[in-house]
Amino acid sequence: MKNVKGMIKDILTKENLSKEDIVFLLNSTGEDSIALFKKSAEIREKYVGNKVYLRGLIEFSNICSKNCLYCGIRKDNKKVKRYNISDEEIIDAARFAYENNYGSLVLQSGELQGNAFTKRVETLLKKIKKISDNKLGITLSCGEQTEEVFQKWFEAGAHRYLLRIEASNKELYKKLHPDNGLHNWDERYESLNILKKTGYQTGTGVMIGLPFQTVEHLAEDLLFMQESDIDMFGMGPYIEHEETPLYQYKEKLLSLEKRFELTMKMIAVLRLMMKDVNIAATTALQAIDKKGREKIIKLGANVLMPNITPGKYRDDYALYQNKPITDEKAEDYKNFIEAGIKTAGCTIGYGEWGDSLHFLNRKKLDNV
């Protein structure tokens, strides 16, 4: 049998990774992990370069129709202070992103459906395009919708959409969601397919370190993302919230440090498997390690989402506890980001949409 060093070397030179290879990498420690991170950084630099693209994040409402068992803004959490930012405040935040040359922004909310919500988002998209002279790229993260709604928003100016699958394993998904018609894995997966068909750069992701989750589940998640031909990813460590049903399993979870390490390995392996995709360094990383996002950028991520939500609302968009950097002004946070990205050995792609090369390359092939 080959020694560990020989195994890691063989795996890292493979073009296609098996489930067993991925499990080996996710279980790696010491020199193995260092070799993995070095390889993923090399691939990031070769295929997507050292630019990090900014997406100004506007969490415009924490009102949600869903009751996901892990989420702090779930419908049945009566202790949440609900809010719905005014259109004027959203446009002001978008103007800040435009004037500070962010290139793109993300409009994110709890999951709602209905004519009023559809029309509101459609109107906001058109206004943002107008005030930015069509120069701001726009990502939406507003949950499952009908094909008609996805099409309306696409035509109004959104060109990227993030819809996290949360768990590719159906049985695990069921343990994370109520057993009712509002939480259906097949419908969520179909939404991803509709988004791709509509023309969006399509994003998804999972939480890492969940109750009931195994390393084998995570390996399956990565293979699912590859097989689904996704363009961009937002993956982060699961951080518990005491006002959720899953909090009862707190004592059985991996330590926060272990969840962070596993997230690093998940992102590194994803970069090996899907070399030209966009990968975000998520905010949850900083809830565990103040330098968390810089560390993730070093080993493969190339997208950062600075929170430009008006400060008075940020604490209330609490998907998990101990949400970091909720009290800093957007102007000051911009300086903090610049310093962190420079420390990671990268530069900021100011004024650029930073579209997924995976999406653009697939589009070229479709047009051949």
Q: Provide the domain count of the chain.
A: 1
CA–CA dist 230, 238 (Å, integer): 21
**Tens-digit pLDDT profile for residues 262-288:** 999 999 999 999 999 999 999 889 889
Q: What is the pLDDT of residue 1?
A: 39
Instruction: Kindly calculate the radius of gyration of the chain based on its CA atoms and give it in whole angstroms.
Output: 20
What's the average model confidence in pLDDT over 12-16? Answer: 95
In a domain, 55, yes or no: yes
**What is the Cα–Cα distance from 280 to 267, expressed in whole angstroms?**
9
Label residue 327 by pLDDT band (50, 70, 90): low
Q: Is the pLDDT of residue 51 over 80?
A: yes
> What is the arithmetic mean of pLDDT over 232-257?
96
Q: How confident is the model at residue 323 (pLDDT cuts 50, 70, 90)?
A: confident
Q: Residue 13 pLDDT more than 70?
A: yes
* Residue 36 maps to a domain: no
CA 12 to chain centre: 25
Q: Which helix (H) or strand (E) holds 317?
A: none
Supply the mean pLDDT for the chain: 94
CATH number for position 330: 3.20.20.70
- The answer to pTM > 0.85 is yes
For residue 15, being part of any structural domain is answered with: no
Burial string for 73-95 (b: 16+ CB within 10 Å, else e) reads bbbebeebeebebeeeebbebbe
Least confident of 39-53, 178-192, 290-304, 333-347: 333-347
User: What is the Cα–Cα distance from 122 to 210, expressed in whole angstroms?
Assistant: 34
68 assigned to some structural domain: yes
Say whether pLDDT at 97 is over 80: yes
* Least trusted range by pLDDT, from 103-117, 290-304, 323-337: 323-337
Residue 288: which domain range? 48-366
**The dihedral of CA 205, 208, 211, 212: what is its sign?**
positive
Is 13 part of any domain? Answer: no
Is residue 21 situated within a structural domain? no
Mean pLDDT of 191-203: 98
Residue 338 lies in a domain: yes
Cα 174 to chain centroid distance, Å, stands at 21
**Residue 82, in any domain of the structure:** yes
Give the pLDDT band of residue 59 (cuts 50, 70, 90): very high
State residue 328's pLDDT score. 61
Q: What is the pLDDT of residue 368?
A: 57
pLDDT score of 336 more than 90: no
Q: What six digits make up the tokens of 216?
A: 């084998």
